[in-house]
Every structure is written in C-alpha cells, then in structure tokens.
Structure 1
Amino acid sequence: MEHLILILAGLAAGALNAVAGGGTFLSFPALVFVGVPPVMANATATMAALPGYIGSAWGFRHEIRAASPVPVRAMVAMAIVGGLLGALLLLVTPNEVFSVVVPWLLLAATLIFAAGPALVRRVTGQGGALTRPAALGLLLVVSIYGGYFNGGLGIMLLAAFGFMGFTRLHQMNGLKNLLSAVLSSVSVATYAVAGVIDWENGLILGLACALGGWGGAHLAKRIPSMTALRIFITLVGLVMAAVFFLRQAT
C-alpha cells in the first residue's frame, strides 16, 4: 500500500511539475505519510523530482535552444551555486525546526503558485528587463530557495524569467525544467553525501515522477487553458498546508 501511494503520488507530481508545477505538494506529503522524517522527506522528494525534470527538459529541448536574453550557461552556473547553498542550508536545519517551518513553506509556496500566472503576465507585459547582473542575482536567490525546498520552484522560476526579459512560454517552461534539473542534481548530490536520502522510497517515487514528467511535457503543449488545473493544485496545496498545521497542533 505504501509503494502504491508513492507510485500514484510520483506519477501525478511528475506530470504537474511538467505542466504547471506544484508536484511537491503531493510528493513531499506522500513521503511524510509513509513515515519518512521531514528533512529526509524533503531531500528525498527533491531526488524523486529530478528524473521528471530531466524528462521534461528533454521534451522541451528544441525550445531551450532558442535565443535567450540571458545566456543559458550563465543561468546554469547560478542554478549550480544556488542549489548547493540551499542544500547546505537544509542540512543544518534540525528536524524539529523544519517540522515547524514545513506548513509555512507549503502555504507560502501555494500562495506563490496561485499568484504566479498573474505575476508572470504583469512582468512580461511591462516590457524591458533587469540588467544581466541583477537578473542572475535574482536567479541565484530563487535557486537557493529551490535547493532548500522544492515547492513552488517552477512558478518562481517562470516569474524570474519574466523579469529577465523572456516572453515565449514554451521556452520559459523548458528552461524552468532545465534549471530545476541542474539545481536539483547539485542538491541531491549534497544530500546523498550527507546521507539524508531514503533511497528505497525515493527510487520508487523517482521512477514514477520520470514517467509523469515525460507525459506531462507533451501534455503541456496541448492544454489550451490550465486555469482549472491551477485551481485544483492550489486547493491541494492549501489542504496539505492545513494538514501539516494540524499535525503540528497535535
């Protein structure tokens, strides 16, 4: 039953990450539900999301190669540094402290996710862009957050791309998955060295996320409107945040 829960959560999380983001709202709680400690669950959820990010980035490989306002290599460098810093920050956070922070992180990520599309439209509609140093600095901050907690990372990257001058949604989606894969790879390597990954549950969840991410990348190009999906994901995030607040209260 525990494996079935992880498989279903992984398939859904991988697809959601590829299409709209928010997969962590399912994968992280699923790991905690089957008994994985919070810090380890967070590290394991990041590892599990990694194959999905790679599969989704491959699905958008043609869009990623298009000309961009900021060089892809520079963005990858920021993702590497940020992913490492965020992972190190997680490793020095005790389980007891992280348990208190988790519901607030879930709530904040859900609100960011809900406001994300309007924010991206507003940013991309303003015209202009940040200077390159400012753009890379913003990307570094978002990458640190992603290395610490994966929830809401996708929509934060999309908003950052809007500030950086990107306007093509498919290219932004492709780069979102590429940078998520890069910073998650660095984070996972750091977690692995520290021994905070539950490999058995993580591999099951990761394989399911990979399948979901591959399918989600193709599905994303065919969905005319994602409003209903975003509302559903927002509700899931709010429910999960409420559950963790209740766990904390009891």
Structure 2
Amino acid sequence: MIELSLVLLTGVAAGVLNSVGGGGTFVALPALVAVGLSPVTANAVARIALVPGAVTGAWVYRREIAPVGAASAIALTATSVVGSGVGACLLLVLPASSFESASPWLLAFATVVLALGRRLSRVVSQVSARSAGMSPRAVLIGQFLIAAYGGYFGGAVGILMMALWSIGLGLDTAAGNPMRITQLAAVFLTSGVLFLFTSDALHTPLLLAALLVGATAGGFAGAHLARRLPARLLRGVLLATATVTTVLYFLRG
C-alpha cells in the first residue's frame, strides 16, 4: 500500500508537470525504478500512464490550438506520431543495457535544456528575427527528431518543442502552449499504445493503474493551474525536480 500510494502521488505530480510545462518523466521514472521496476519497464509504464493526463490536458486547450508557423496542425501531429513510433521501436529493439546506460545522460541533457532553453531561445530569436524563420519542412524535420526522442525517453520533450518553435519561428511560449500540449499528447499516445502491447508494463497492473489514475487527475488539474500560477514559479519547481533527479541517477549508477 505504501508503494501504491507513492506511485499514485507521483502520478499526480507527473500529470501536473506535463500540463504546466513538461517534465513528468523526471518524477515518474525514478519513482517506478525505486519500487523495483527495471528502467526500461519503468519508462514504458510511465509512458502508458501519462497518456490520459496528456490527452486530458490537450482536451482542455482544444479551442486554443493555433498553427506553428506555416506548418499545419495536421502535418505537425502526423510528424509527431511517426517520430514517436520510431523512438518507441528503438527502445524496444535496442538492448535494455543501452537505455540503462543512457538514462542518466538523457536526464542531464533534458535538465540542461530546461535550465538554458529560455536564454538560448532569447539569443537565437534575436538573430532569427532578421530572417524569415524556419521553413515548414525544417519545422517538421525538427519535430520528427524531437518526437523520436520523446518516444524513446520523453524527458523534457515538451520543453524541446517550445525551444524549437521559439528559436526557429519566434513563437511566444504562452501562445504555443496549447499546441505543445497537443503534440505531447500525440507523442505519448503513440509510444504508450506500442508499449502497452509490446513491453512488460502489463506485468505490474497495480502500479500501472495507480500511476495512471494519479496522472489523469494531475493532467486535468495542471492544465487549469498553469493559467493561474506565475510561470517563474512553475519553471523553478520543475528545474529543481529535474536537477535532483539527475544527480540521484548519476549517484545510483
């Protein structure tokens, strides 16, 4: 019961984080590993459980979705689905040791992106403002690569999307948030469905159910919470969580 309660609360936190700025993997993955799952299985369980929260968040923002540059919402979503599927297949095909070795570095990469993403976006946006910005093809290629990373790991994938859009198109973070949540849902739904039928996630039904219920509630609450709390506070909480998780993973390894 203690483990289930921990996983349930972790799911709530992960769902909230994904809705307000991304980063649910930072709390879901280490919590599942802590209760005894292998990193690969924990990643699959986390992805499946975070799907309803991501979809719920996208539903809340459904009337506020706007295109990203000249790329249509349909093209962007289709690219996210294909890219996520490729990344998920890589996780399933490659040896488990590959993911276990890479996970601390993936967490570190995602943490650095989170910490420096806004500064980098500001600098590059000033430069790109003098040009026409990324072409629709370039946006879709970048989205495919980010979605593939999301299908394989998922940490800070929503933040990477916003970085790409703000750097390449000068898109405002607040204006792009509805589309970010929608694409996050597409990435998680695609990889989650694949993991549901091809991984060991169903071998731990109670943990999966607890994380799923928590993440769904957190995703719905987080989508509303994001509109009220200061962005700086939300980002600070996420950055602190990411940093602590990354350090613990390196110490564990």
Q: TM-score, normalised by structure 2?
A: 0.90
Report 1:129-140 matches (<5 A). Answer: 129-140=133-144
Q: 1:228 to 1:170 in 2, by over 3 A?
A: closer
AA matched with 2:198:
A
Please say if residues 157 and 176 of structure 1, whose CA atoms lie closer than 8 Å, have aligned partners that are also in contact: yes
Tell me how far 1:164 sits from its aligned partner.
Answer: 4.8
Cα distance in 1 for residues equivalent to 2:125 and 2:57:
23
Does residue 36 of the first structure (1) align with residue 40 of the second (2)? no
Aligned to 2:28: 27
Please say if residues 123 and 159 of structure 1, whose CA atoms lie closer than 8 Å, have aligned partners that are also in contact: no
Cα distance in 2 for residues equivalent to 1:67 and 1:119:
23
Please say if residues 166 and 172 of structure 1, whose CA atoms lie closer than 8 Å, have aligned partners that are also in contact: no
Aligned to 1:7: 8
Please say if residues 39 and 98 of structure 1, whose CA atoms lie closer than 8 Å, have aligned partners that are also in contact: yes
Aligned to 2:115: 114
Q: 1:124 to 1:208 in 2, by over 3 A?
A: farther
- Overall identity of the aligned pairs, in %: 35
AA matched with 1:243:
L
Does residue 204 of the first structure (1) align with residue 210 of the second (2)? yes
Does residue 194 of the first structure (1) align with residue 198 of the second (2)? yes
AA matched with 1:245:
F
Per-residue displacement from partner, 1:90-140 (whole Å, max 9, x unpaired)? Answer: 012322222221111111111111112223344555433201111110100
Aligned to 1:167: 171
Q: 1:67 to 1:236 in 2, by over 3 A?
A: closer
Cα distance in 2 for residues equivalent to 1:147 and 1:201:
21
Please say if residues 4 and 206 of structure 2, whose CA atoms lie closer than 8 Å, have aligned partners that are also in contact: no
Q: 1:48 to 1:137 in 2, by over 3 A?
A: same
Report 1:9-88 matches (<5 A). Answer: 9-64=10-65, 66-69=66-69, 70-88=71-89
Q: 1:218 to 1:166 in 2, by over 3 A?
A: farther
> Root-mean-square deviation (CA), in Å?
1.7
Cα distance in 2 for residues equivalent to 1:67 and 1:233:
27
Please say if residues 122 and 167 of structure 2, whose CA atoms lie closer than 8 Å, have aligned partners that are also in contact: no
Per-residue displacement from partner, 1:186-235 (whole Å, max 9, x unpaired)? Answer: 11122122133244312211211111111111111122x32233233222
Tell me how far 1:49 sits from its aligned partner.
Answer: 1.4
Please say if residues 22 and 113 of structure 1, whose CA atoms lie closer than 8 Å, have aligned partners that are also in contact: no
Does residue 241 of the first structure (1) align with residue 246 of the second (2)? yes
Please say if residues 28 and 41 of structure 1, whose CA atoms lie closer than 8 Å, have aligned partners that are also in contact: yes
Tell me how far 1:68 sits from its aligned partner.
Answer: 4.4
Cα distance in 2 for residues equivalent to 1:98 and 1:72:
31
Aligned to 1:149: 153
Does residue 221 of the first structure (1) align with residue 227 of the second (2)? yes
AA matched with 1:188:
G
AA matched with 2:235:
R
| Count of residues in Structure 1 that have an aligned counterpart in Structure 2 | 246
Please say if residues 68 and 166 of structure 1, whose CA atoms lie closer than 8 Å, have aligned partners that are also in contact: no
Q: Which runs of 5+ in 1 are unaligned?
A: none
AA matched with 2:239:
T
| Higher mean displacement: 144-153 or 122-131 | 122-131
Q: TM-score, normalised by structure 1?
A: 0.91
Please say if residues 6 and 30 of structure 1, whose CA atoms lie closer than 8 Å, have aligned partners that are also in contact: yes
| Higher mean displacement: 195-204 or 162-171 | 162-171
Cα distance in 2 for residues equivalent to 1:119 and 1:174:
22
Please say if residues 50 and 184 of structure 1, whose CA atoms lie closer than 8 Å, have aligned partners that are also in contact: yes
Q: 1:123 to 1:207 in 2, by over 3 A?
A: farther
SS at match of 2:142: helix
AA matched with 1:96:
S
